[in-house]
Amino acid sequence: MNPVSTTDVSEKADKIRKILDDLYPEVPIPLQHQDAYTLLVAVVLSAQCTDERVNQITPILFAKAATPADMVALGVEEIQRIIRPCGLSPMKSKGIYGLSKMIVEQHNGQVPATFKELEAMPGVGHKTASVVMSQAHGFPAFPVDTHIHRLAARWGLSSGKSVEQTERDLKAIFPEDTWNKLHLQIIYFGRQYCPARVHDVKICPICSWV
Ligand code: SF4
């Protein structure tokens, strides 16, 4: 890939943002939830699982336990039994139980609103914390999943060296007040337009000109 100037990149970024705004003026949050806690649990469940599957399982789980205290009372084994269809259930059930216990014992039953406190919880990495900060607490964040990471590199917005680098690059390129919407728009675009198989880039609304 040829090196591109900062101006080229920011013009390209503006154009991509306009296309995404036209395609996705509204960006509903894909994971169903009622509050910050249920969103946090849903995001933990979504690792290597589709949002559709998570949205099928969370109503069953939250009917039994929709608060951290109730989740602790439910216990790891029962959590694991309910969430098994989401995959990785031994690890995810321990994470959900552990983070719920921590919220009860250290945060008065409320999901904390700092990256440091969120990332100190079992099962919560930077991406999960970013989703919660962004979608539950309204804090500007840019959660980068594998799709955003791949597309940012494909569109020449980042070197694609690491997820951390992609997050830094996208935050530097796009205005802060667009981050929360943009990360969802890119996810929606990736799901709709970017098939896993080989395809014709000439008909793509973005890759046809980047
Ligand atoms: S060509 Fe379009 S559909 Fe394919 S990866 Fe690029 S953005 Fe996605």
Which residue's CA lies nearest to atom 5 of ligand 1?
A: 194
pLDDT over 80 (residue 163): yes
176-201, pLDDT tens digit by residue? Answer: 999 999 999 999 999 888 876 777 88
pLDDT over 70 (residue 6): no
Please confirm, yes or no, whether 35 is among the known catalytic residues: no
The CA 39 to ligand 1 mean position distance, Å, reads 29
Record the pTM.
0.91
The CA 19 to ligand 1 mean position distance, Å, reads 13
Specify the pLDDT at position 7.
Answer: 64
Specify the pLDDT at position 2.
Answer: 45
Residues contacting ligand 1 via CB (< 6 Å): 154, 193-194, 199, 201, 204, 206-207
Residue 50 has phi, psi (to 5 degrees) of: -75, 155
What is the amino acid identity at position 195? P
The CA 183 to ligand 1 mean position distance, Å, reads 16
For all residues of the chain together, what is the average pLDDT? 93
Give the nearest ligand 1 atom to 199 CA.
Answer: 4
Most informative mutation of 1, 19, 154 for ligand 1 (most atoms within 8 A of CB): 154
Tokens standing for residue 27: 């960006």
pLDDT over 60 (residue 4): no
Higher-scoring residue by pLDDT: 25, 203 = 25
Give the single-character DSSP code of 84: G
d(CA 20, CA 195): 17
33-84, pLDDT tens digit by residue? Answer: 999 999 999 999 999 999 999 999 999 999 999 999 999 999 999 999 999 9
What is the amino acid identity at position 84? R
Please confirm, yes or no, whether 145 is among the known catalytic residues: yes
What is the amino acid identity at position 1? M
Instruction: Show the DSSP H helices in 107-178 as ranges.
Output: 115-119, 126-135, 146-154, 163-173
